[in-house]
Homo-oligomer: A and B are copies of this chain.
């Protein structure tokens, strides 16, 4: 027989106070005599009392649950987001419920609705591409569930968001290549329908422009963020009569593809070709040479998202009054990224080597 665990009534009885006072102490409300508080705290410890989420939730309307919705579980950022979110949730006394959703499921809205109306999470964290999915957003709004968007395609005026500055990061990493003496710097663009792809391309263009370097259309190739598209793009690029001496792949998976292709072609990296990626995925540091890339502050972004949700920032309820300017700024946080310089980049060598046969 599971010996029933202590309830608030047990604590109240033992401490000789009302349950309301126990509740006050446990919830750290002010206005309790410090002696009374101590008294209660001791009994709480002795009985190992822990308020039950279901009872608090039913009575108080707060579930102490935060939801995390994601699509592709293997996407570079999901792991980081989840890690940051669980940790921050624990600190704040919340718990993280995760749900893996297909972005194009026909019953997507219903799946979200089911989860939200059953669990009543106090907030929801959405990752791309779900954070840009109108169906998901509507289901959440209909249920009056606050949410925070991680790296949305566009800042939604009504919904708080957290992201990094893709444009500047891309500009910086391109600048790094330029500062190493590279003139023929190719870019492999990401999936057409993803805004991150567009922003990184913009950053690349900005870097060239600020150095008054002409854009060579031959050095711009379309990819789709997959390893295979990186391989293919690399073959295109490296078969040109005038090879690029550096490639900026819009994410690590594609950069890994470029590296693989270069190796097959017998090109030395970084000797014959410098390569940079974006994301700092686990694989980026498990190849040789390890990739120079950009680390997205995923965990910090997730922590910030949790803070927005539990901190009573209150944004995203959908029925709130129009936010003021300052509120708007607090609602859209941009976090600092980090340039990770490793061994896949080097100064342009004086005389580029010939293609060795593969």
Q: Which residues of A contact B (CB under 8 A)?
A: 1-2, 5, 48, 50-55, 57-58, 63-65, 73-74, 79, 82-83, 86-87, 90, 95-100, 111, 113-115, 117-120, 144, 227, 253, 256-257, 259-261, 263-264, 281-283, 285-288, 319
Contact = CB atoms under 8 A, between A and B. Distances in A.
A54 to B, nearest CB: 4
Q: Which 6 A-B residue pairings sit nearest by Cβ, starting from the closest?
A: A260-B288, A283-B283, A54-B57, A50-B117, A54-B58, A2-B144
A90 B111 contact: yes
Contacts of A319: 1-2
A259 B97 CA distance: 38
B256 A53 contact: no
A232 B313 CA distance: 50
Nearest to A285: B227
Given A50-B118, A54-B120, A97-B98, 11 more contacts: A5-B117, A54-B63, A64-B118, A73-B79, A74-B79, A95-B115, A95-B118, A98-B98, A260-B288, A263-B288, A282-B283
A73 B81 CA distance: 11
B98 A286 contact: no
A51 B118 contact: yes
A86 B98 CA distance: 7
A74 B118 contact: no
A98 B119 contact: no
A64 B114 CA distance: 13
Contacts of A257: 286
Contacts of A98: 82, 86, 96-98
B286 A114 contact: no
Contacts of A281: 282-283
A285 B286 CA distance: 12
A33 to B, nearest CB: 27
Given A73-B83, A98-B86, A99-B86, A120 B52 contact: yes
A306 to B, nearest CB: 13
A253 B286 contact: yes
Most B C-beta atoms less than 10 A away, residue of A53, A115, A286, A319: A286
Contacts of A144: 2
22 contacts: A1-B319, A50-B113, A50-B118, A53-B119, A53-B120, A54-B55, A54-B58, A55-B58, A64-B118, A73-B82, A74-B282, A83-B100, A95-B119, A96-B98, A97-B97, A227-B285, A256-B287, A257-B286, A260-B287, A263-B263, A281-B282, A283-B283
Most B C-beta atoms less than 10 A away, residue of A64, A86, A257: A86
Contacts of A115: 95
Nearest to A261: B288
A113 to B, nearest CB: 8
Contacts of A57: 53-54
Most B C-beta atoms less than 10 A away, residue of A54, A73, A260, A282: A54
A111 B86 CA distance: 12
A55 B117 CA distance: 12
A52 B51 CA distance: 19
A224 B64 CA distance: 39
